[in-house]
Structure 1
Amino acid sequence: IFHHSELFASIPPTCLPIVYHPNYNITFMGLEKLHPFDSGKWGKVIHFLKEEQFVSDENLVEAREASDEDLLVVHTKRYLNRLKVGIYCCFFCSTLKPPVFFHQLLVYFMPSLRCLEALPESGSVSSGGGFHHCSSDKGGGFCAYADITLAIRFLFDRVEGVSTATIIDLDAHQGNGHERDFLDDRRVFIMDVYNHNIYPGDGFAKRAIKRKVELEWGTEDSEYLQKVELHCEGALNELRPDVIVYNAGTDILDGDPLGGLSISPQGIIRRDELVFRAARRRGIPILMVTSGGYQKKTARIIADSILNLHLQGLIGADGSGSGPSAE
């Protein structure tokens, strides 16, 4: 018997499979401007999509806040208590912040699961999420909650027909959080493509990676896209999962202060299309989360990529909404 959760909700058929909540955007007396992460990035993505008249407040899926019971599906009580009392911080590292700050970083992307149920052969996008350095009892790398782990465990527990999952992690950094969580779980296949010279260098977590692609400093479009396509196809051929969670970090962008790679905006858009096409050819639902990206221009690139996915018929393909409502 599972606890009651508000994370699942019926989605009107007029909604696009794009999840957002204004609380994705974090402010704290202006101090957020001192941090390398653009804490307003997610709102900017939606702003650009509204400018293009692709989304509106009426056709977005509004994310819901996770309860403590929801979070305990993954996290330990000890870890959650440390966040609540403000003695532990993994978003601003050693800087202490009140508990309300952390709760703005809750797993708001979970309603994307409804998009997956409503679109058995299509894709959905959360404009936020992708906190891939957080595991059940430890945060890090600006990540306070293990949203990828929680999404997959909810799917396994509550959605009939979902018993295997593939994580395709294309953020510039190794996704050590979900790797630690699924280290001994054969239901989850992890592909991770990352700059091996940078944070976190978690050798223990690497044991969970089934397809490991370690990149060098300054890797450019041609090599990168070739490797992504080759290994994405290989991963999905090796295990055909019931669902894909795609961690689409934009910190691979040339000039990113933390990623160390040299991928162009066009390369990022092409990358996302490659992954979605691989999922579509196999009829596997895919959920994209946006993860890292530490330049002001990344919001525009994410928006352009979402628009391209729509133009290619890979999300919101019917032109009106997400498809049939999931009850």
Structure 2
Amino acid sequence: MPHKTELYEDVPPTCWPIVYSPDYNITFMGLEKLHPFDAGKWGKVVNFLKEAKLITDDSVVRAREATEEDLLVVHTRQYLNRLKKHTMESFEEWSFVVATITEIPPVLFLPNFLVQRKVLRPLRTQTGGTIMAGKLAIERGWAINIGGGFHHCSSDKGGGFCAYADISLAIKFLFERLEGVSKATIIDLDAHQGNGHERDFMEDRRVYIMDVYNRYIYPGDGFAKRAIRWKVELDWGTEDGEYLQKVKAHVESALNEVKSDIVVYNAGTDILDGDPLGGLAISPQGIIDRDEIVFRAARKHKIPILMVTSGGYQKRTARIIADSLLNLHSIGLIDKELATGEARDAQVEMMSREPKDARPARH
């Protein structure tokens, strides 16, 4: 019996299937600047979309923080306890774990309550947003979490600024709660290998993973690579022409191989030329074109798509993400009314198939 959660509450039809909360943004006495990640990029994306009159505060779905019970759908209690300080004896371990995950060494010396409030709570809220967006994607045909995409975190280990396994959680929630959802495809186009969800779904044949990444950078997780069903390894400095040709061909092949009920698209912008961690050389227009390719493929195959924004370590990535979403809207790939109608048709088709691993929906 699934636990009671607030993350699967119904959303008014007046809202876009776009999930966000101001609580996503991390401001931590300037310490966030010690990591190359732009810890306020999510709010900047939303502001650009509001300036373009695509959304308003009232038309966006407000993300909720994932509770411990929500997180336990994937995470071990031992791992979650390691993110908290219960006693003075556990202080050293907690400090080391959180400092390692966030890649901000001074976290070693800060009190747990402050790190919970300023770093881990924003990440839990983004995680709740991804779970909420999964349900919305099935209902509306598409959904976008302006945050999330913590693909280096698995059930019992975090890393690479990823403390919670939001992709794994969104998929597990769908399998447990929505009738007819029994297969998922992850298309991971962040510059880094998505070793977290790969470890979580290593033995789960319901989840098909496609991963396109720079073969020479973090995490280089050879064990996790065994879970990748469609692997594309890139070289340093890969540029638009080669990259877009590979994405288009391989996304199409992956979606042809397995008929899934949901696509989870990890749309990292760390592929951008000049990114200090990605090592690739994709232009801003190349990122916009990449997102269009993935959304067109999902629409062609009539598969609902959930997009999360994942990595991206330059100040200009917020503008590029916003421009990409505006492009998707301008060409009709994300549209409130159209998506709702297509989602209705897709649900009818889904319900006509015999679900294999699904259970009745419970809230």
User: Do they superpose with TM above 0.5?
Assistant: yes
Q: Equivalent pairs: percent with the same residue? A: 66
How far did 1:116 drift? 1.5
Report 1:171-320 matches (<5 A). 171-318=190-337
* Inter-partner Cα distance in structure 2 for 1:295 and 1:303: 14
Q: State which of 129, 134, 139 in structure 2 corresponds to 1:113.
A: 134
Q: Does 1:71 align with 2:71?
A: yes
3-state SS of paired residue (2:296): helix
Answer yes or no: is 1:99 the counterpart of 2:119: no
Q: CA deviation at 1:80?
A: 0.4
Within a 5 Å distance, the mapping from 1:121-200 to structure 2 comes to 122-200=141-219
Aligned to 1:19: 19
Q: Which amino acid aligns with 1:203?
A: G
2:147, 2:310 within 8 Å by CA — same for their partners in 1? yes
Given that 1:93 and 1:140 are in contact with CA atoms closer than 8 Å, whether structure 2 keeps it comes out as: no
**What's the offset of the Cα at 1:34?**
2.0
CA contact (8 A) 1:192 1:209 kept: yes
Q: What runs of 5+ residues in structure 2 fail to find an aligned partner?
A: 86-93, 348-362
Q: Note if 1:57 corresponds to 2:57.
A: yes
Q: CA deviation at 1:104?
A: 1.7
Alpha-carbon offset, residue 37 of structure 1: 0.4
Indicate the structure (1 or 2) with the bigger Cα radius of gyration.
2
Aligned letter for 2:61?
Answer: V
Aligned partners of 2:316 and 2:6: how far apart in 1? 34
Q: Which segments of 5 or more consecutive residues in structure 1 lack a partner in the other structure?
A: none
- Residue 53 of structure 1 deviates from its aligned partner by 0.7
Specify the alignment match of 1:43 in structure 2.
43
Alpha-carbon separation, structure 2, partners of 1:113 and 1:278: 18
- Distance in 1, Cα, partners of 2:202 & 2:281: 30
SS at match of 1:207: helix
Contact residue 37 and residue 294 of structure 1 kept, 8 A: yes
TM-score (ref. length: structure 2)? 0.86
Aligned CA RMSD, in angstroms, stands at 1.7
Three-state SS of the structure 2 residue aligned to 1:305 is helix
* Structure 1 position 312, deviation (Å): 1.6
What is the CA deviation profile of residues 170-211 of structure 1, one whole-angstrom value per residue up to 9, with x for unaligned ones?
000000000000011100000000000100000000000000
Match of 1:303, SS?
A: helix
Give the superposition deviation at 1:108: 2.7
Tell me if structure 1 keeps the 8 A contact 2:189–2:267.
Answer: yes
Q: How far apart, in 2, do the equivalents of 1:52 and 1:222 lie?
A: 29
Equivalent-residue separation in structure 2 for 1:58 and 1:287 (angstroms):
21
Amino acid paired to 1:166: T
Q: Counterparts of 1:226 and 1:177 in 2: how far apart (Å)?
A: 27
Q: Distance in 1 between matches of 2:311 and 2:293?
A: 19
Deviation at 1:93, TM superposition (A): 5.0
What amino acid maps onto 1:104 in structure 2?
A: P
**Cα 1:263–1:255 shift into 2, 3 Å:** same
Q: How many residues align?
A: 324
Structure 1 residue 31: Cα displacement: 1.1
Greater shift in the superposed pair: 95-104 or 56-65: 95-104
Q: State how far apart, in whole Å, the 2-side matches of 1:169 and 1:274 are.
A: 13
Q: Which has the higher helix share?
A: 2
Distance across 1 between alignment mates of 2:68 and 2:246: 40
AA paired with 1:99? Q
Task: Name the aligned partner's letter for residue 285 of structure 1.
Answer: P
In the alignment, is the contact (CA less than 8 A) between 2:35 and 2:104 conserved in 1?
no
Q: What amino acid does structure 1 have at the position aligned with 2:128?
A: Y
1:4 corresponds to: 4
Residue 359 of structure 2 corresponds to none
CA distance in 2, matches of 1:312, 1:150: 31
Alignment pair present for 1:31 and 2:31: yes
